[in-house]
Copies of this chain bind each other. A is one copy, B any other.
Amino acid sequence: MKNLKIVIASDSIGETGEVVARAALSQFDVVVEERNLKRYAHLTDVKDIDNFIQSIKLDNVVVIFTFIKPELSKYIVEKLTQLNIPFVDVMTPVMDMLKEKLEDGPLYEPGRVHKLDADYFKKIEAIEFAVRYDDGRDPSGLKYADIVLIGVSRTSKTPLSQFLAYRGYKVVNIALVPEVELPEQLFEIDPNKCIGLEIDPSSLFEIRKRRLEQLGLLENAKYGQNERIEAELEYFHQTVKKIGCCTINVTNKAIEETASEIIRIMNL
């Protein structure tokens, strides 16, 4: 990787290509940096592609591209083949497969995946919603929420809420702290909307220890103590029982994985 340059080219912003590149790169023991993974966006005609080809280093480079317009895919394939640069065309196989099956389209308009339609505005609204009602700031949001996450401190409530918001769900999260009374609205919602974020005590201990170190606080602060953690988790289980909601164990799980598990549960 020291010298290999992975280039993403697109007639839109190149996000899809980067997602694919990063998924593949994660399987190699390399550090991905700005200088070896680079996006070239909005290449909308053959002249843009010519300039693009000129500007990439021709030694030890590979190209991953996502062009919506078939004539651009065809043109870049020609150019890269001439120059003997390895490449992968991400979109064409999928577009061709769908074209066989769907009547209306393709429309061949780059950037349509980012179009400002109802889904887009739903997503944006959900992101703003999750920020507004983060950490139980205002319990009045509970009745509008699609999903309510509860858990003790450091169980990824905030990032999880954002990931789910990105998928269009309105999320309220509420921290469980034994000393802080819970809003009564929490016990009035449909328990199927609520999910308790469970975590193993030893893992929580480690996370909080690291957190305290980051904050420059003493290791023996109440927050990180074992008995404190046990008490909080006991309170968590009591609350979950009282609400009658299900739980997900988030220990050592990436946010993406937990979010996808929550969506599966919600759709059952």
**Contacts from A to B (Cβ < 8 Å):** 1, 4, 6, 13-16, 19-30, 34, 39, 41, 60, 62, 64, 66, 68, 86-88, 90-91, 93-95, 97-98, 100-102, 104-109, 111-116, 120, 123-124, 127-128, 131, 134, 156, 158-159, 162, 165-166, 252, 254-257, 260, 264, 267
Contact = CB atoms under 8 A, between A and B. Distances in A.
21 contacts: A4-B101, A13-B256, A13-B260, A15-B256, A19-B20, A22-B113, A27-B108, A28-B98, A28-B107, A29-B107, A30-B105, A62-B101, A86-B101, A88-B93, A88-B97, A111-B257, A114-B254, A124-B159, A128-B159, A131-B134, A162-B165
| Closest 4 pairs (CB-CB, A-B) | A28-B105, A114-B254, A27-B106, A29-B104
Contacts of A264: 41
Nearest to A61: B101
A156 B41 CA distance: 22
Tally of this chain's copies: 2
Nearest to A108: B27
A127 to B, nearest CB: 4
A100 to B, nearest CB: 7
A34 B168 CA distance: 12
Which residue of A6, A68, A97, A112 has the most chain B CB atoms within 10 A of its CB atom? A97
Given A16-B23, A127-B159, A162-B162, A257 B86 contact: no
| Most chain B beta carbons < 10 A, residue from A1, A20, A264 | A20
From A94, A120, A264, residue with most partner B Cβ within 10 Å: A94
Nearest to A267: B34
Given A30-B102, A30-B104, A20 B16 contact: yes
Contact of A23 (B91, B108, B256): B91
A6 to B, nearest CB: 8
